[in-house]
C-alpha cells in the first residue's frame, strides 16, 4: 500500500515538474505572431542576377581554388609522405625433414626465390630467412618481421605416387 502511494506521489511530482518547465519555457519564448494582416499574403521578391554579379562570383570561386595545395597567404602543406608500400607477402614455410646429428641440418620448403627444398643449419640465412634453433623436431626461423616455429609432420601411412 505504501509503495502504491509512493508511486503516485512520484508520478504527480513528475507531471508538476513537466508543467512548470513548460510554463517557464513559454514565458521566456512567446509564440511568433504573423506580421501579415488577415486576408493578405506576403510576397517574396527575388532579383534576377545580372551578368556582372555572376562574372564576379565565378572569378571569386576560381581564384580561391580549394583543391590547390597552397592557397593564398597560408603556409604550404609540408611533411606529406606517401603511404608505405605494401610489404611483400610472407612466405609459407614447411619443415620437410632433419638430417644428421649435432649440428643438425634442416630441409625447408617455401624459401622465397628458391625452387624445392633448401638445406640450412642453425645461423644460416637464405633469402631473408634465418634458422635460429633446432630442438626435437622443431625448427625456429626468423625473417620478414616474423618468427616461424616449424614442426615435422608424422609420415602418413598412405603410399605416395612413387611407392
- The partner residues of 147 in beta bridges, in order of sequence, read 142
Secondary structure string (H, E, C) spanning 71-109: CCCCCCCCCCCCCCCCCCCCCCCEEEEEECCCCCEEEEE
**Per-residue pLDDT tens over the stretch 83-111:** 777 777 778 888 888 888 778 889 889 88
- The partner residues of 129 in beta bridges, in order of sequence, read 126
Would you tell me how many other CB atoms lie within 10 Å of the CB of residue 5?
9
Which stretches in the chain have pLDDT values below 70? 31-46, 65-80, 155-163
pLDDT at 111: 87
**Continuous H helices in the chain:** 2-28, 51-63
pLDDT at 70: 61
d(CA 46, CA 153): 84
Omega cis (within 30) before 103: yes
Prediction pTM value: 0.42
- Going along the chain from its start, the domains and CATH numbers come out as 94-151 (2.30.30)
Amino acid at each position: 500500500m505504501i509503495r502504491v502511494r509512493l508511486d503516485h506521489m512520484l508520478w504527480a511530482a513528475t507531471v508538476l515538474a513537466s508543467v512548470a518547465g513548460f510554463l517557464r519555457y513559454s514565458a521566456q519564448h512567446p509564440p511568433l505572431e504573423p506580421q501579415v494582416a488577415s486576408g493578405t499574403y506576403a510576397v517574396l521578391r527575388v532579383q534576377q542576377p545580372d551578368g556582372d554579379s555572376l562574372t564576379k562570383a565565378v572569378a571569386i570561386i576560381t581564384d580561391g581554388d580549394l583543391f590547390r595545395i597552397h592557397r593564398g597567404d597560408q603556409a604550404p602543406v609540408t611533411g606529406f609522405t606517401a603511404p608505405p608500400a605494401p610489404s611483400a607477402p610472407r612466405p609459407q614455410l614447411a619443415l620437410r625433414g632433419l638430417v644428421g646429428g649435432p649440428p643438425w641440418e634442416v630441409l625447408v620448403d617455401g624459401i622465397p626465390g628458391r625452387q624445392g627444398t633448401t638445406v640450412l643449419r642453425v645461423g644460416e640465412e637464405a633469402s631473408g630467412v634465418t634458422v635460429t634453433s633446432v630442438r626435437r623436431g622443431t625448427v625456429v626461423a626468423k625473417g620478414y618481421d616474423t618468427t616461424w616455429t616449424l614442426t615435422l609432420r608424422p609420415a602418413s601411412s598412405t603410399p605416395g605416387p612413387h611407392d
